[in-house]
Chains A and B, each alone.
Chain A
């Protein structure tokens, strides 16, 4: 598995941004619980084996409500990216630029996930570059959570 601890536990973005919370209806609880245990879990249809992301109550391919979760390796490629400069939240006032990437996961039907690209925020970014997941823990948050982040391999 490609599970990897953060080189240091300083989060990529400052604390104070809205923290992710599992949906009240339970739709994505396995995803957020998985991240805390350093497992990347993606929704999969138990009937037709279709992967889908984000999660939904029904499989868009076969309309089954029998949906499960599969652990994936977390190896992907950069599908698109953006470098954000203008602070749109008080917690970002002093942050400076940061990179958000859209990562495609070929191992699970090319579903895409959003995350930050770790490392130098001024780095050149090449679409198609290989990345792997890194688990960023926030144990001191009011309700602890973990984010899936990405780094160039």
Chain B
């Protein structure tokens, strides 16, 4: 087997989003949100929705591809794919799956989407309301360890202890992300800037996370259209070519009850080298990074595990001004991300990575040719991807 790579074979040619709302703030049911985002992405791509022939999503999205296909009057459904695993760890994985289907001739025009209406369905940030719990949950939930913040704080405490990285890095991630949202009218936190004093003065959620270390919970939907690189050349938008994508996690990452051997990681240690190898780039080639923030501590670990700095360099490298689009060596989460734009399970981060290649970001990085995404730190599987402009092929 030669040439087993996704590099340069597939491109994102359209992106679409609904209005982003605070959780419970959408009047539309979740399925309608999904449809609206798909129609917006189709229009952006300049295609008829019936030309779509596949769907890929993640985190057990409830908008079933067959129902979408019937509702949209699609000529044929050729690919209906779900990346396993909860949270946002599957975002880039869904892109990888869609790209693999196109690259191998399984489908021709695949939409990656995610829709969430937490007013219609349950919230993420609360514990289960059942009277009993069995299985893995029985070893943690009765001790009051039941929300995502509580599941991941334990990893971050250990990471801070092992490495000497400080919480000032968390603050830098949060402040830079909020700053970017102030230039993005789509962002839920647009017009609500975050100051260092406001960050420091916020209540603890679970140590080591204060309020502004935590993502929002939102309603909305996002979608993107993928086609082959050959087809992309003749389409309406500047293509964002997929250079590489990986999904998975390290040895026994899912060992029950917090028994992962490599505990103090964001789960990317085995993926990052494979991503760079497929994409044919190195960390210093990355012009802009969208790194999934369930919690700021996970972003810090993701940045380190992807080789942008070492643990020893992190306190110096992960600084506010170094993460800004205008001044930073590593512009981070340039739309406001999960913290301040919208928690669309990180698909909004992938849309933003595409915008950077197209030159359409609200915080555009000059000459952004290589644009990277890391999806869902500290869960398993996690995933990541890199997009490039025509110049990178």
Interface residues of chain A, those whose CB is within 8 Å of chain B, are 13, 17-24, 28, 32, 52-56, 60, 79-86, 88-90, 92, 95, 97-98, 100, 102, 111-116, 127, 142-143, 147
Taking a contact as CB atoms under 8 Å apart, the answer to whether B154 and A82 are in contact is yes
Smallest CB-CB A-B distances: 6 pairs: A54-B256, A20-B138, A80-B158, A89-B127, A18-B133, A82-B153
Taking a contact as CB atoms under 8 Å apart, the answer to whether B157 and A80 are in contact is yes
Residue numbers in B under 8 Å from A20 (CB-CB): 132-134, 138-139, 141-142
A-B contact pairs, 11 of them (CB 8 A): A18-B146, A20-B133, A22-B134, A60-B252, A79-B263, A80-B157, A81-B157, A88-B150, A102-B154, A113-B139, A113-B257
Residue numbers in B under 8 Å from A92 (CB-CB): 144
Residue of B nearest to A12 (CB): B143
Taking a contact as CB atoms under 8 Å apart, the answer to whether A18 and B131 are in contact is yes
Interface size grouping (class) on chain B:
35 or more
Residue of A nearest to B142 (CB): A20
In this assembly, does B278 line the interface, its C-beta being within 8 Å of a C-beta of chain A? no
Taking a contact as CB atoms under 8 Å apart, the answer to whether A88 and B125 are in contact is yes
Taking a contact as CB atoms under 8 Å apart, the answer to whether A23 and B127 are in contact is no
In this assembly, does B48 line the interface, its C-beta being within 8 Å of a C-beta of chain A? no
Residue numbers in B under 8 Å from A21 (CB-CB): 132-134, 138
Residue numbers in B under 8 Å from A22 (CB-CB): 134, 138
Which interface residue of B133, B134, B205, B208 has the most chain A CB atoms within 10 A? Answer: B134
Residue of A nearest to B137 (CB): A18
Contact of B128 among A18, A52, A114, A115 (CB under 8 A): A18
In this assembly, does B198 line the interface, its C-beta being within 8 Å of a C-beta of chain A? no
Contact of A54 among B129, B157, B259 (CB under 8 A): B259
Residue numbers in A under 8 Å from B206 (CB-CB): 82-86
Residue numbers in A under 8 Å from B263 (CB-CB): 79-80, 112
Residue numbers in B under 8 Å from A82 (CB-CB): 145, 150, 153-154, 157, 206-208
Residue numbers in A under 8 Å from B135 (CB-CB): 23
Residue numbers in A under 8 Å from B258 (CB-CB): 102, 112, 114
Contact of B158 among A84, A88, A127 (CB under 8 A): A127
Residue numbers in A under 8 Å from B157 (CB-CB): 80-82, 127
Bound-state CA distance A28–B139 (Å) is 10
Taking a contact as CB atoms under 8 Å apart, the answer to whether A19 and B131 are in contact is yes
Taking a contact as CB atoms under 8 Å apart, the answer to whether A18 and B205 are in contact is no
Bound-state CA distance A29–B52 (Å) is 50
Taking a contact as CB atoms under 8 Å apart, the answer to whether B143 and A89 are in contact is no
In this assembly, does B340 line the interface, its C-beta being within 8 Å of a C-beta of chain A? no
Contact of A13 among B137, B143, B207 (CB under 8 A): B143
Known contacts A21-B133, A80-B158, A83-B204; is-contact A100 B142 (Cβ 8 Å): no
Bound-state CA distance A95–B144 (Å) is 11
Taking a contact as CB atoms under 8 Å apart, the answer to whether B134 and A114 are in contact is no
Separation in Å of the B153 CB from the closest CB of chain A? 4
Contact of B144 among A13, A60, A142 (CB under 8 A): A13
Residue numbers in B under 8 Å from A52 (CB-CB): 259
Residue numbers in B under 8 Å from A115 (CB-CB): 143
Taking a contact as CB atoms under 8 Å apart, the answer to whether B131 and A112 are in contact is no
Q: Apart from A17-B127, A80-B158, A92-B144, what are 6 other A-B pairs with CB-CB below 8 Å? A: A20-B133, A52-B259, A55-B256, A86-B203, A88-B126, A112-B263
Bound-state CA distance A136–B203 (Å) is 30
Separation in Å of the A108 CB from the closest CB of chain B? 11
Which interface residue of A17, A23, A111, A115 has the most chain B CB atoms within 10 A? Answer: A17
Residue of A nearest to B152 (CB): A82
Bound-state CA distance A147–B257 (Å) is 15
Known contacts A83-B207, A84-B206, A89-B144; is-contact A54 B127 (Cβ 8 Å): no
Residue-wise interface mask of B (178-202) relative to A, using a CB-CB cutoff of 8 A (1 in contact, 0 not): 0000000000000000000000000
Bound-state CA distance A84–B131 (Å) is 21
Bound-state CA distance A86–B202 (Å) is 12
Separation in Å of the A12 CB from the closest CB of chain B? 8
Taking a contact as CB atoms under 8 Å apart, the answer to whether A142 and B131 are in contact is yes
Residue of A nearest to B123 (CB): A88
Bound-state CA distance A102–B154 (Å) is 8
Separation in Å of the A70 CB from the closest CB of chain B? 16
Residue of B nearest to A113 (CB): B257
Separation in Å of the B258 CB from the closest CB of chain A? 5
Separation in Å of the B361 CB from the closest CB of chain A? 33
In this assembly, does B161 line the interface, its C-beta being within 8 Å of a C-beta of chain A? yes
Bound-state CA distance A112–B155 (Å) is 13
Taking a contact as CB atoms under 8 Å apart, the answer to whether B161 and A127 are in contact is yes
Taking a contact as CB atoms under 8 Å apart, the answer to whether A86 and B205 are in contact is yes
Known contacts A82-B206, A83-B207, A85-B204; is-contact A53 B259 (Cβ 8 Å): yes
Bound-state CA distance A95–B139 (Å) is 20
Bound-state CA distance A46–B141 (Å) is 30
Taking a contact as CB atoms under 8 Å apart, the answer to whether A54 and B142 are in contact is no
Taking a contact as CB atoms under 8 Å apart, the answer to whether A19 and B133 are in contact is yes
